[in-house]
Chain A
Amino acid sequence: MADAAAQQVFAPWNAPEAKPIIQFRNVTKRFGDFTAIDDLTLDIHEKEFFSLLGPSGCGKTTMMRMLAGFETPTEGTILLDGQDIAPVPPNKRAVNMMFQSYALFPHLSVWDNIAFGLRREGLDKDRIGNRVEEMLRLVQLGKFAQRKPHQISGGQRQRVALARSLAKAPKLLLLDEPLGALDKKLRQETQFELMDIQETTGTTFVIVTHDQEEAMTVSSRVAVMDHGKIVQVDTPDRIYEEPNSVYVADFLGDVNIIRGKASRKDMGADTDHVHIHFAEGQSPLWAATKRDLAEGTEVALAIRPEKVTITRDRPTDRNNAIRGKVHDIAYLGNISTYHVELPGGQIIKAQTANTRRVARRSFTWEDEVWLSFTDTAGAVLVD
């Protein structure tokens, strides 16, 4: 049963025989003195929904513009289906892009916008008509075919842009902050629509975003970028639970970073765990790690607030327990985040689901509490 499920998981990046659709090979892009992309190597596979995630200026848009053909790499090669695309101009690439501003042609109707790319291919009228109708059905905009872009709402414009970029059935669709201009509720709905459309059409999607929730929701894999380099590429759950650096842990979601010195002195033959001495007078934290750490290495334990349990009495079933005082409570409706101050002044965040009414919650400001977590709850990171 478990094996069957594992086989159905879509993970071509783990299959050694799979041939990637896009390969960045040691790609560097400089604008004058500024290095936007720094010696980057990356494979993207067919039918992936791949996210480039990072703060503004990290080079994610430059990567996308190189794929579309609006920029050429300074060094290195980009292969699409095994072919170097550097000499191919944008209008000859089997790649389409959905622009952040949507870039809908204001003088053309929704119908003509979607038909624009098909007409450039010189297809006959009937085939263009059928394809446009198909696209309009896909994004549910049949009623608005004859409207101009300024006569429809922002969400509808976003769907026209998507339909237009999918109309030519590209091998690869690039989406530059596709949902950035929508409000939160519409954005969440549209994320699922995007995933449905990606599954229906089987197109490879590469999406650029600075919204980590969006990247986590839609992607098969996420690449976290910083200063022109890829820091980590992995599935959303692994990126979240097993970040490879403090940068990644900190960029995705909320995290407690506890810095200390690693020690294996009193552990005997146990090489799967490490003690982290993080403060004077506190017993060391016991954390699982596969890293080979020298005695006294500076490490950081990254632990998500929802994996820290808060109790009044010291729990007996957990390996790590720290005493502290409730400093602040952030009430978010469905969850509450407790900011607990340790004797040394450090703040640790613990999150609990509000399954009972808030009036009946067990802790309040200045309460003495225990924070606890298991040995596998956090990730041991070295910077």
Chain B
Amino acid sequence: MRRLSWFNAVSLTLGFAFLYIPMLILIVYSFNGGKLVTVWAGFSTKWYGELFRNEAFLDAALNTLKVALLSSTFATVLGTMAAYTIVRGGRFFGRTLFSGMIYAPLVMPEVITGLSLLLLFIAIGLDRSIITIVLAHTTFSMCYVSVVVSSRLVTFDRSLEEAALDLGSTPFEAFRLVTLPIIAPAVISGWLLAFTLSLDDLVIASFTAGPSSTTLPIKIFSAVRLGVSPEINALSTILISIVAVGVITTSLMSKRAIMRRQKEEQEAI
């Protein structure tokens, strides 16, 4: 291992401090025994207990999970289809317009997306519920999925699909048996991205949520306005740990997969 120069060491420390001190404080205070968030009163896990007895939070958490699972799945299907059409469809009429428009929601302010969806739901008389949140989240996250998937498809060796056709597959079989398994990692990371986006979306959800269908971000946000409760610290700590475990496992898994592949390729030669 190489020793870092003092300059690099300082920049590294500053960067990490900037990123992680807020979260660290939050985690530490989630184990605070006192009621006041900013005054340390000894170690305790009582707020975790309180949290699990708080049904409003649990309901909101369950809603969030449902919305995230459904919307990310729909977004993945739609986004993959859109990406495939844009990359593989050849030069059909309106292709440039379509491919430009699919990326527009990426730069659209969320407030506008949320507001326009709200207006739409009112216009067609759709009552606001979990369904409206799922629809809204599908709408804005499918363009992220299509960006991820189409960037994979662009580098995809087209002759693989041609080979599948040549060997007697219908175009759909070629997609299902060859293209999809090969681009699966991109589709999965698109799904994960959509899932994460849906999990922490506050703005669009607050436009499209009904009174009985609060998601966790909305719940936390409204709770904080009445004063930060240590319960929220506990909840956030749990969320951070889930995300951290997820990220660390996937990166370890992909690293091991790459190493195994390199080893196998070397053995082949």
Query: With a CB–CB cut-off of 8 A, which chain A residues contact B170?
Result: 91
B121 CB, min distance to chain A CBs, angstroms? 42
Is A116 within 8 A of B167, CB to CB? yes
Q: Is A70 an interface residue (CB 8 A)?
A: yes
Q: Is A8 an interface residue (CB 8 A)?
A: no
B101 CB, min distance to chain A CBs, angstroms? 27
Q: Is B182 an interface residue (CB 8 A)?
A: yes
Residue of B nearest to A101 (CB): B159
Is A153 within 8 A of B269, CB to CB? yes
Residue of B nearest to A65 (CB): B162
Q: Is B264 an interface residue (CB 8 A)?
A: yes
Q: Is A230 an interface residue (CB 8 A)?
A: no
Contacts A96-B167, A164-B167, A168-B167 given: A150-B268 contact, CB under 8 Å? Answer: yes
- Segment 151-173 of B: residues with Cβ below 8 Å from A: 157, 159-160, 162-170, 173
Query: With a CB–CB cut-off of 8 A, which chain A residues contact B166?
Result: 68-69, 90-91, 95-97, 165
Q: Is B267 an interface residue (CB 8 A)?
A: yes
Is A120 within 8 A of B167, CB to CB? yes
Is A120 within 8 A of B169, CB to CB? yes
Is A151 within 8 A of B265, CB to CB? yes
Residue of B nearest to A105 (CB): B178
Is A90 within 8 A of B181, CB to CB? no
Among B162, B169, B267, B269, contact of A103 (Cβ-Cβ < 8 Å): B162
Q: Is B261 an interface residue (CB 8 A)?
A: yes
Q: How many residues of B contact A (CB 8 A)?
A: 23
- Segment 148-162 of A: residues with Cβ below 8 Å from B: 148, 150-153, 156
Query: With a CB–CB cut-off of 8 A, which chain B residues contact A70?
Result: 162, 165
Residue of B nearest to A122 (CB): B168
Q: Is A107 an interface residue (CB 8 A)?
A: yes
What are the interface flags for A78-117 relative to B under an 8 Å C-beta threshold, 1 for contact and 0 otherwise? 0000000000011110011101110101110000000011
Distance of A151 Cα from B262 Cα, bound (Å): 9
Is A106 within 8 A of B268, CB to CB? no
Is A168 within 8 A of B168, CB to CB? yes
Query: With a CB–CB cut-off of 8 A, which chain B residues contact A165?
Result: 166-167
Q: Is A292 an interface residue (CB 8 A)?
A: no
Chain A residues in the interface with B (C-beta under 8 A)? 68-70, 89-92, 95-97, 99-101, 103, 105-107, 116-117, 120-121, 147-148, 150-153, 156, 164-165, 168
Chain B residues in the interface with A (C-beta under 8 A)? 157, 159-160, 162-170, 173, 177-178, 181-182, 261, 264-265, 267-269
Known pairs A116-B167, A117-B167. 17 more at Cβ < 8 A?
A69-B165, A70-B165, A90-B162, A91-B166, A96-B166, A103-B160, A103-B162, A103-B163, A105-B164, A120-B167, A120-B168, A121-B168, A151-B265, A151-B267, A152-B268, A153-B268, A165-B166
Identify 11 residue pairs between A and B in the complex whose beta-carbon atoms are under 8 Å apart, listed by A's number.
Answer: A68-B166, A70-B165, A91-B166, A91-B167, A96-B166, A97-B166, A99-B162, A103-B160, A116-B167, A117-B168, A121-B168
8 shortest interchain CB distances as A-B pairs: A117-B167, A120-B168, A103-B163, A103-B159, A90-B165, A107-B181, A151-B264, A99-B159
